[in-house]
Chains A and B, each alone.
Chain A
Amino acid sequence: MRSNWIIFALAASAMAQTPGRKLDFPVDSPVLAVSSDWSETKATPRGGAYVLDVHAVLSLRNASQKRIRGVTLSVLAQEVTPGGKGSVSVPSLDVAPGESFPLRIDLPLLCPLGAGGPMVEVKLDGVLFDDLTFYGSDRLHSRRTMTVWELEARRDRKYFKNLLETAGAEGLQKEVLTGLDRQREHPSAGVQMVRGRSTNTDPEREVQFAFLQMPDSPVEPTAGSARIAGNEARAPHIRVQNRSDRPVKHLELGWIVKDQQGREFLAASIPSDVNLAPGKSGAVTQDTALKFSERTQIDGMTGFVASAEYADGSYWIPTRGELNDPRLRNIVAPSPEEQRLLQLYRKKGLNGLIEELKKF
């Protein structure tokens, strides 16, 4: 009898940590939540904390008159990480008006004892349509990221379709197999990042960036450096010049790190609001520290322009030819659309991929 009470108390304690949840979509939202299932959510006590596995399966319906290309939902758990947010984005969609599509959210949360029961809130951050118009609060800058994904998707579909026309099914298959190999061997290193000033007391040295030139890029990086101490890099500072005839308001640079064994991997992207008039120069500076695994000693750094947004709201992204640079090919991950097409090839074969390309 007594043990029953203990089990009941433990169960009640665990249940007390099960998060509350809230789905918050605007009244005029072009996406409606048809149903949501949170039944697989569970809480497990572990040491001095609770591990919460929040699982939700949402069914969303396109309530607009346009085809939807992408959706981003923001996820907040204020009591777990105050001020911190999460998001779930689905790019490369093609949802017609009135159609429904599923969206799954899995949130592993670690909640310290005594923090109170967390509240998980899911909000609509943005919806991108096929005419590149956007709806949403855009608190997470999802308009920019989803637009870039959509432009990359159009570029990659066009590339594969051209390949099919010029080199035939055999040429397309060869390119897809190369892409699968590249995806399998894509180097990824564990990295921790913290913003703000560093308190590292190790002796630092300043390492200069080398740059990969992209002939079509509207912005050219001219010089740059970062502070390096062992396996930690911080405070990148890069000079850039707008060589186009249009003002550029936002820029994203890629930051490649080479370790002492000569292996290169994409350490981070450096987004920055630059507001560069034509012909003008400016600086991209981030007060950020990156820390790699203990075994990684930073030996060199390379930068490249990953995307740019003009002041008029249009974008520049690298061409497939520029991404075929031998150094970039194995470091930059395929676009979400290329990842989708490669998986379709795996699942449905070459004919399935060709049928998919014909839809667009």
Chain B
Amino acid sequence: MTRHVNQTGLALYASGDVSLWQRASIGLHVRQCERCRERVNQFRNDAKALRVVSAEIPEGVDWARLSAEMTANIRVGLEAGECVAPRTHRKSWRIPPIWRPAAMAAGVMALLAGAWWLNMPAQDAKSLNRVLQALTHGPNAALDDRGPVIEASPEGIELRKDGGALGVAQDSAQLLTVSVSTQGSASAHYVDQDTGQVTITSVYAQ
């Protein structure tokens, strides 16, 4: 007599879930072994009883509500699964190897240009600005290259020279009027709204 078949093998045999040659082999043993045959019968009886019980709806169960809850739980589960699913990475952009030295050189050039611009003397910065303005607006765009510039606008007055600027204001007062003198100055009249005191600020290019 062959040795006993294990529990799993008997359970699968009882439910008909084994391959054809295993079925023949286990069936041969079960027919000869009373103990295994009893166990197979027990598995078959249990399965039959379970099918009967599961076919009946227990008392007090609202099947429609239960179905809705199960559907909702399934959806929640699907959503949660998406949250914890591994991220899909975009395909990273890579510089073709042939261009890498050029990209590295461009980076170094940008770094050097930035350092140069930050440390450039004011006169050089002014010249560069003049060239750029001439390129974009034509040769008559800027007065700055002709000397100190006095500017008066409804916002106030300012003196610009060599990349620096000086304004004189009265931040706490209201600007009333601005005026320009051809001798090289501009003035702004402010009035204090509480006291009425007028303060006149001026800038001079001398």
Of residues 89 through 136 on chain B, the ones whose CB sits less than 8 Å from some CB of chain A are 117-122, 125
- Give Cα distance in the complex from A270 to B178, angstroms: 15
Chain A residues with Cβ below 8 Å from B147 are 194-196
- Give Cα distance in the complex from A91 to B202, angstroms: 13
- Give Cα distance in the complex from A288 to B182, angstroms: 6
- Give Cα distance in the complex from A111 to B160, angstroms: 10
Of residues 77 through 133 on chain A, the ones whose CB sits less than 8 Å from some CB of chain B are 77, 79-92, 103-115
- The reply to whether A336 and B200 contact each other, CB–CB distance below 8 Å, is yes
Stretch of A161-169, A199-207, A215-223, A320-328 lying at the B interface: A199-207
Chain B residues with Cβ below 8 Å from A262 are none
B15 at the interface (CB under 8 A from A): no
- The reply to whether B182 and A90 contact each other, CB–CB distance below 8 Å, is no
Given contacts A48-B117, A82-B162, A344-B196, contact A108 B169 (CB under 8 A): yes
- The reply to whether B204 and A85 contact each other, CB–CB distance below 8 Å, is yes
Chain A residues with Cβ below 8 Å from B77 are none
- The reply to whether A108 and B196 contact each other, CB–CB distance below 8 Å, is no
Give the interface size bracket for B toward A. Answer: 35 or more
- The reply to whether B150 and A85 contact each other, CB–CB distance below 8 Å, is no
- The reply to whether B161 and A81 contact each other, CB–CB distance below 8 Å, is yes
Query: B188-206: contact bitstring with A at CB < 8 Å (1 yes, 0 no)?
Result: 0101111011111111111
Chain B residues with Cβ below 8 Å from A289 are 143, 146
- The reply to whether A198 and B183 contact each other, CB–CB distance below 8 Å, is no
Chain A residues with Cβ below 8 Å from B163 are 49, 112, 115
A160 at the interface (CB under 8 A from B): no
- Give Cα distance in the complex from A111 to B161, angstroms: 10
Give the interface size bracket for A toward B. Answer: 35 or more
Stretch of B32-40, B48-56, B65-73, B151-159 lying at the A interface: B151-159
**Candidates A105, A108, A255; contact of B182 at CB < 8 Å:** A255
Chain A residues with Cβ below 8 Å from B200 are 88-91, 149, 336
- The reply to whether B194 and A271 contact each other, CB–CB distance below 8 Å, is no
Given contacts A55-B171, A193-B149, A193-B150, contact A87 B202 (CB under 8 A): yes
- Chain A CB count within 10 A is highest, among B119, B183, B191, B194, for B183
Chain A residues with Cβ below 8 Å from B186 are 193
A268 at the interface (CB under 8 A from B): yes
**Candidates B118, B158, B202; contact of A113 at CB < 8 Å:** B118
A178 at the interface (CB under 8 A from B): no
- The reply to whether B118 and A115 contact each other, CB–CB distance below 8 Å, is no
Given contacts A194-B143, A195-B184, A289-B143, contact A86 B206 (CB under 8 A): no
Given contacts A108-B169, A115-B122, contact A343 B153 (CB under 8 A): no
- The reply to whether B199 and A199 contact each other, CB–CB distance below 8 Å, is no
- Give Cα distance in the complex from A92 to B191, angstroms: 12
User: For residue A291, which residue of chain B has the nearest CB?
Assistant: B143
- The reply to whether B182 and A269 contact each other, CB–CB distance below 8 Å, is yes
**Candidates B145, B189, B205; contact of A333 at CB < 8 Å:** B189
Chain B residues with Cβ below 8 Å from A85 are 203-204, 206
Chain A residues with Cβ below 8 Å from B199 are 88-90, 103-104
Chain B residues with Cβ below 8 Å from A190 are 151-154
- Give Cα distance in the complex from A198 to B146, angstroms: 7
Q: Would you give the shortest CB distance from A42 to chain B, in whole angstroms?
A: 12
A224 at the interface (CB under 8 A from B): no
A307 at the interface (CB under 8 A from B): no
- The reply to whether B182 and A188 contact each other, CB–CB distance below 8 Å, is no
Chain A residues with Cβ below 8 Å from B193 are 343, 346-347
Chain A residues with Cβ below 8 Å from B26 are none
**Candidates A86, A115, A186; contact of B204 at CB < 8 Å:** A86
B5 at the interface (CB under 8 A from A): no
B8 at the interface (CB under 8 A from A): no
Chain B residues with Cβ below 8 Å from A188 are 154, 177-178
Can you list 13 residue pairs at the A/B interface with Cβ under 8 Å? A84-B161, A84-B166, A86-B204, A90-B197, A90-B200, A108-B165, A109-B165, A110-B164, A193-B152, A193-B184, A200-B140, A333-B189, A340-B196
Interface residues of B (CB under 8 A from A): 117-122, 125, 139-140, 143, 145-154, 158-173, 176-184, 186, 189, 191-194, 196-206
| Shortest beta-carbon contacts, A-B, top 10 | A110-B165, A190-B153, A86-B168, A343-B196, A80-B164, A333-B177, A108-B167, A112-B163, A288-B182, A286-B182
In the complex, given contacts A86-B159, A346-B193, A347-B194, what are 14 additional A-B residue pairs having Cβ atoms less than 8 angstroms apart?
A: A80-B164, A80-B165, A85-B203, A107-B166, A109-B165, A112-B122, A188-B154, A190-B152, A194-B149, A266-B179, A268-B179, A339-B198, A340-B191, A343-B198
Interface residues of A (CB under 8 A from B): 48-49, 55, 75, 77, 79-92, 103-115, 140, 149, 183, 186, 188, 190-202, 232, 236, 255, 266-272, 286, 288-291, 333, 336-337, 339-341, 343-344, 346-347
